[in-house]
Each structure stands twice: as structure tokens, then as C-alpha cells.
């Protein structure tokens, strides 16, 4: 494949590539800045080297990504929410030789790793003797992102140029593509949700509007006053935006929200329908270089609860136990330094998502839960999600997490950790379950908690929960 940035300078030099605040750069200007940056970085990095990047959603961070790509480095994206110790683990696991960071994000150096702040790079001398990559090779890894998952050590997900390319193409074949598209990125660029917007920008020749931190008021202003056409959101962002939805609506170029990070609730969906705001719900993960399955707006009402249909170039099949298997050119070549995990999740070219689901007669996918979370009790499968959904309808239950514990008689039985808004007795909770669920699905014990252990991206560490003694202290009477 050709070098995307070079190609953009050829095809659309004067188009705005990136804008943030009052700064706007065309593809030609981006390329010129990248030329200077690469000359500075060339002293410290070269093709094939792994360079970690710790950045906010800033133009500097954007330019750094593009520059490292031009130098042929593998970029290890660091999550700014992680602890120093967690980051140290990732830097070591990836054998990173250089860390580049925004000075506002780090106040303590890492042991044994050369570091450069954005400012320090500014004052590096420009090398005259260095090579930029002439082509982007399909199978070459360009980015690495660690996913914490809910168990085990974080795993470095490798993403190749092909992964990003097909991800962008699949998305365009679903959402369409116009020369007026302008994608607002208020999700972190160190996550695939944000990075994929930047990659789409390069591949489509599309303007990306960068915002460092989601702010409903500021976003609404942009959606009204600028020419933003598309925006990636998670459910809470969408809800906040709907709360202050302007009477006059968004700008005429606005096309849709792309929703990740969980399904839309019925109330929110209805609000979007009333206001004529298309929301595309999407399913994807770091391992699939963003969305691979999407539920379009026109199907949302009839297919509530579904994650949608596989995008063009993505194939899906269900394993015997209902696990969702995917095959697509956007799926990671594998986890870094993790042959066991790779052997576990890949089989004959199929990637095991770990999600259990089923397809309806129209090919829409519905998820029941994570394979690892599934509780097998007396030979019956219990999906915590189903039990939780049921209990969330009981007044007084603010939140609930269900997990399995080993049991001599049944193998496993479900127990529940609840956050209560009003007093509910053990007996009331169990009775409610027996009314609404098959008996084997009803948690055998309910514990009261105040919060849950979570990963950096906000996923509840379900299996960790049952191992923490503290959480099992308050058995509800």
C-alpha cells in the first residue's frame, strides 16, 4: 500500500486534515510539520523501533503519531489514566526503547527507558540523514495498544496498516462518505475509538476535529456552529448531549453519532428518534481495530438489544457454545509476546471474541455475555448479564453484579453484589428473582457493596470481585 500521508498530499493537499480550537492544518501543512518532526526524531528513532506515546488529544499528539508512522516505528499508545506502575509494566513488556510524552501527563521518569517530552523534541537538532518509509506494508504493525481485559495481565494488541485500512473501509461502506465529512474526536486517541478516527481521516482525506476532553456544552456548540458531520460517542456522552439538545438542531452537515461502548437504552433511542438524530450503534474492540458490527438507525427500534450486523468484509460464525467468532482483515495479527494467548484466541483464521451470542433470523447479533463470565450451574448456563438486567428493574437496586462461585453440589452457583438505593432483604431479593427468572439463575446470596473494582476503561472486574474478601463482608440480612 502507498504511504497514506504522502498520498493525501498528492490527492487533497489543501483540505483541512485536522483542527483543534482555532488551529487548522491542511494535509500539506501536516506533511510539512511532520517533515520537521521526523527530522528531529530521526536522531532518536528508526524503522522497526518501538516508541511509546503518552499524549492528550492534541495536534502535537496527532503530529507525533503521523511522524512515528513515517519513520516506521511501532507506536505503543499509553493510557494516561493508568498508574505509573501499570505503565512501567507495559513499557517493559513491549520492550519500548523510547518514550515520548506530553509534559503535563508525567512527573516521574521510568526506570531504564529513554524519554523525551514534546518540548524537548522541539529543540532537537534536525537530522539530515534519515529515511522515511516509502510504502505502508499491509502486514506491518504500526500501533500497539494494551487492553486490560477483566482478568490477567494487560495484553499488547498489535494493529497493522491493513487492520486500520479495512476498518476505515468497512466503516465507509456502512456510513457512506462525502467530501464534506468532518469527524469530531472527543474520545481518547490512545484508544482505538480515537485512533481509528485519525486513520480514517488519512485514508478518506477527511477533516478530523480534535477535542481534548468531552464537554457537552462545547461539543454542542461545535455540532451547532461548525461543520462536524459525525461524532464517536459512548452512551453517557450521548445522554449528556441530548439533555442540552438545542431547539434549532445541529448544523446541516451533521450526519450521525457513532455509538460505542455499550448498547443504547430505549429512552435515549426514542429521544434520538424524536430529534431526528441518527445513532449508529457499534460493536468492536481494540483487537478488531474498532467497529466490526453495527446496528443502523433504521433497524434500532425493531432490533432493540441487538449489536447489529457484521460490516462488509467481516465474517461471523458462532461456535458450539455460542461464542462469537470473527474473520476479517481488520483483526489483529496477535498479542505481543503472548504465544499462549494467541493460540487460545485464534483458530483457523477465526478470532474468538469471548462474547457469547446468538443470531436472529435476519442475521442480527445479540450478545448474552462474556464467555469467561458464564456460570455453569448443574449443567445449565447462566449469563450474569441476563440476571443483572432483570434485577435492575427492581426498585431499590441501583446496580448489581452477578458472578459465579464454586459449589460442591452444582459446580457453580451465582452470587450477587448489589448497590442498594433502599433497604431490601435477602428474602425479598430472592423472591423477586424466583418470580422473574428460572430458579437456577437466582443468586444464592446477595452482598451489599458501595462500588465495584474496575479496569482503567471502566469495565467491572467481575471475576476479581468474588476473590476480594472485603466484598463478601456485608451479606444482606
Tell me which residues touch a copy of itself (CB under 8 A): 1-2, 7, 10-11, 13, 135, 169, 172-173, 176-179, 203-205, 309-310, 312-315, 362-363
Instruction: Assess contact for 70 and 23: CB atoms under 8 A.
Output: no
Q: Nearer Cβ to a copy of itself, position 2 or 122? A: 2
Q: How far is the CB of 359 from a copy of itself (least distance, A)?
A: 10
Nearest C-alpha neighbor of 67 from the set 90, 110, 23, 98: 98
CA distances from 206 to 15, 97, 137, 187, 219 (A): 8, 33, 22, 17, 19
CA distance linking residue 395 with residue 376, whole number of Å:
28
3-state class of 2 per DSSP? strand
Q: Nearer Cβ to a copy of itself, position 181 or 355? A: 181
3-state class of 183 per DSSP? strand
Q: How far is the CB of 4 from a copy of itself (least distance, A)?
A: 8
Q: How far is the CB of 50 from a copy of itself (least distance, A)?
A: 27
Q: How far is the CB of 165 from a copy of itself (least distance, A)?
A: 8
Q: Nearer Cβ to a copy of itself, position 9 or 430? A: 9
Q: Nearer Cβ to a copy of itself, position 94 or 367? A: 367
Q: Which residues, other chains included, contact 18 with Cβ-Cβ below 8 Å and sequence gap of 6+? A: 24, 25, 30, 59, 62, 201, 207, 208, 209, 210
Instruction: Assess contact for 293 and 366: CB atoms under 8 A.
Output: no
Q: Nearer Cβ to a copy of itself, position 15 or 385? A: 15
Q: How far is the CB of 311 from a copy of itself (least distance, A)?
A: 8
Instruction: Assess contact for 229 and 180: CB atoms under 8 A.
Output: yes
Q: Nearer Cβ to a copy of itself, position 365 or 382? A: 365
Q: Nearer Cβ to a copy of itself, position 203 or 259? A: 203
Nearest C-alpha neighbor of 328 from the set 364, 292, 294: 292
Q: How far is the CB of 137 from a copy of itself (least distance, A)?
A: 12
379 burial class (0-12, 13-18, 19+ CB within 10 angstroms)? exposed
Q: How far is the CB of 175 from a copy of itself (least distance, A)?
A: 9
Amino acid at each position: 500500500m502507498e504511504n497514506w500521508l504522502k498520498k493525501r498530499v498528492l490527492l487533497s493537499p489543501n483540505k483541512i486534515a485536522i483542527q483543534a480550537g482555532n488551529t487548522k492544518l491542511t494535509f500539506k501543512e501536516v506533511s510539512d510539520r511532520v517533515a520537521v518532526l521526523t527530522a528531529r526524531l530521526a536522531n532518536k528513532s528508526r524503522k522497526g523501533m518501538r516508541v511509546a506515546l503518552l499524549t492528550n488529544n492534541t495536534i502535537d499528539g496527532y503530529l507525533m503519531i503521523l511522524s512515528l508512522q513515517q519513520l516506521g516505528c511501532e507506536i505503543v499508545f499509553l493510557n494516561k489514566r493508568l498508574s505509573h506502575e501499570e505503565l512501567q509494566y507495559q513499557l517493559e513488556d513491549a520492550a519500548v526503547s523510547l518514550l515520548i510524552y506530553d509534559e503535563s501527563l508525567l512527573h516521574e521518569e521510568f526506570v531504564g527507558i529513554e524519554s523525551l517530552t514534546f518540548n524537548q523534541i522541539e529543540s532537537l537538532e534536525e537530522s539530515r540523514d534519515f529515511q522515511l518509509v516509502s510504502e505502508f506494508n499491509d502486514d506491518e504493525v504500526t500501533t500497539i495498544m494494551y487492553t486490560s481485559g477483566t482478568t490477567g495481565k494487560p495484553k499488547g494488541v498489535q494493529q497493522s496498516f491493513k487492520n486500520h485500512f479495512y476498518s476505515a473501509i468497512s466503516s465507509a461502506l456502512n456510513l457512506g462518505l462525502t467530501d464534506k465529512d468532518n469527524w469530531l474526536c472527543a474520545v481518547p486517541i490512545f484508544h482505538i475509538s480515537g485512533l481509528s478516527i485519525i486513520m480514517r481521516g488519512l485514508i478518506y482525506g477527511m477533516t478530523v476535529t480534535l477535542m481534548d476532553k468531552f464537554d457537552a456544552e462545547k461539543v454542542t456548540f461545535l455540532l451547532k456552529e461548525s461543520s462536524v458531520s459525525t461524532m464517536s460517542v459512548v452512551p453517557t456522552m450521548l445522554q449528556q448531549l441530548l439533555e442540552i439538545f438545542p431547539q434549532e438542531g445541529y448544523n446541516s452537515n451533521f450526519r450521525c453519532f457513532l455509538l460505542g461502548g455499550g448498547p443504547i437504552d430505549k429512552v435515549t433511542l426514542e429521544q434520538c428518534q424524536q430529534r431526528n438524530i441518527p445513532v449508529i450503534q457499534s460493536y468492536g474492540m481494540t483487537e478488531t481495530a474498532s467497529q466490526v458490527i453495527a446496528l443502523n438507525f433504521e433497524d434500532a427500534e425493531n432490533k432493540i438489544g441487538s449489536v447489529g450486523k457484521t460490516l462488509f468484509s467481516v465474517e461471523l460464525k458462532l461456535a458450539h457454545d455460542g461464542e462469537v467468532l470473527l474473520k476479517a482483515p481488520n483483526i489483529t495479527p496477535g498479542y505481543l509476546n503472548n504465544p499462549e494467548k494467541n493460540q487460545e484466541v485464534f483458530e483457523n483464521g477465526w478470532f474468538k471474541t469471548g462474547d457469547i451470542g446468538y443470531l436472529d433470523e435476519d442475521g442480527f447479533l445479540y450478545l448474552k455475555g462474556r464467555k469467561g463470565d458464564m456460570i455453569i450451574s448443574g449443567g445449565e448456563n447462566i449469563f450474569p448479564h441476563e440476571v443483572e438486567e432483570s434485577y435492575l428493574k427492581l426498585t431499590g437496586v441501583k446496580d448489581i453484579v452477578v458472578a459465579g462461585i464454586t459449589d460442591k453440589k452444582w459446580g457453580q452457583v451465582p452470587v450477587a453484589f448489589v448497590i442498594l438505593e433502599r433497604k431490601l432483604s435477602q428474602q425479598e431479593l430472592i423472591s423477586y428473582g424466583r418470580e422473574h427468572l428460572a430458579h437456577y439463575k437466582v443468586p444464592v446470596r446477595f452482598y451489599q457493596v458501595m462500588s465495584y473494582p474496575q479496569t482503567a476503561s471502566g469495565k467491572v472486574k467481575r471475576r476479581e470481585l468474588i476473590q476480594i474478601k472485603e466484598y463478601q463482608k456485608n451479606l444482606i440480612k
